[in-house]
Amino acid sequence: VKPGYRRRFSRTERTLHWANAFFFGFLLATGLVLYLPSLAVDIGRRPIVQSVHFWSGIAWICVLVAIVLCGDRRGIVRTAREVDAFDRDDWRWLSGRRPAPQGRFNAGQKLNTLLTAAFVVLFLVSGLLLWLGERDTRLRFASTVVLHDGLMYASLVLLVGHLYLAVLHPATRHALRGMTTGSVREEWAARHHAKWKAD
């Protein structure tokens, strides 16, 4: 870490983030081909796209699990504890009151992480049910497809907000550096994450 910079994300965290981003993008693209009538007509090949989509969904989950198992497991557990904990300042931050000094993650980032993790689980459950329901009517629910599609819309909302803050918004976009190189400027960290103690 360069002088004047502070390490924010471990290699395991970054690998997890970018693997998730890659698979989400790929699954979104193949999923839309299955979902949107215009793409279904122009691109077609539904049976192939369907199995590519299904098996890359399985690969997505396996890769995420493998990264945690092969990476810095303790670090991930520590991160999970950080994301789990909400203090008085987090509530102040969420309700828009200031000052509300934040730790390594601000309350919005914690919520985004928790919801994204929940969506991964729900994508897996609903995707498996869609696949299995085609093979066994006992596993067929009238709303499985609505859940899977609804997750897509909900994830897109999170993603658009996330991309805006990480890439466009001038005050916050420095955070992107933390996810690419692992470190952020001390001075930026002090302003945005005042309660974050360096290791």
Partner 1 sequence: VDETHAGTPGPRKVGRAVFLGAVLGGVSSLYWGNAAWSRVSAAISPLENGLPLVPTGGWRIYTVSGHLPGFDPKTWRLELGGHVEKPVSLAYNELVALPKVEQVSTFHCVTGWTVKNVRWGGVRLGDVLGLAGPKPTAHALEFVSAEVPYVDSLTLQQAGLHDVMLAYEMDGAPLPRAHGAPLRLVIPEMYGYKNVKWLKRIDLVRTPSDGYWEVQGYDRDAWVGRSNGYGT
Is residue 116 within 8 A of residue 122, CB to CB? The reply is no
Number of residues that bind partner 1 (CB under 8 A): 53
State how far the Cα of 11 lies from the Cα of 9, in Å rounded to an integer. Answer: 7
Is residue 19 within 8 A of residue 63, CB to CB? The reply is yes
Phi, psi of 160 (to 5 degrees): -60, -45
Closest to partner 1 by CB, 1 or 80: 80
Segment interacting with partner 1, rule: CB under 8 A, options 7-15, 65-73, 85-93, 184-192: 85-93
- Write down the least CB distance from residue 84 to partner 1, Å: 4
Per CB under 8 A, the list member of 19, 59, 68, 125 interacting with partner 1 is 125
Q: Dihedral, CA atoms, 190, 195, 198, 199, nearest 10 degrees? A: -170
* 10 burial via Cβ count (<10 Å: 0-12, 13-18, 19+): middle
Q: Give me the residue label for tokens 């993008």.
A: 25
Q: Does 87 bind partner 1 (CB under 8 A)?
A: yes
Q: Does 94 bind partner 1 (CB under 8 A)?
A: no
- Write down the least CB distance from residue 2 to partner 1, Å: 31
Residues of this chain that bind partner 1 (CB under 8 A):
34-37, 40-41, 44-48, 83-90, 92, 99, 101, 110-111, 114-115, 117-119, 121-122, 125-126, 129-130, 133-138, 140-147, 150-151, 153, 156
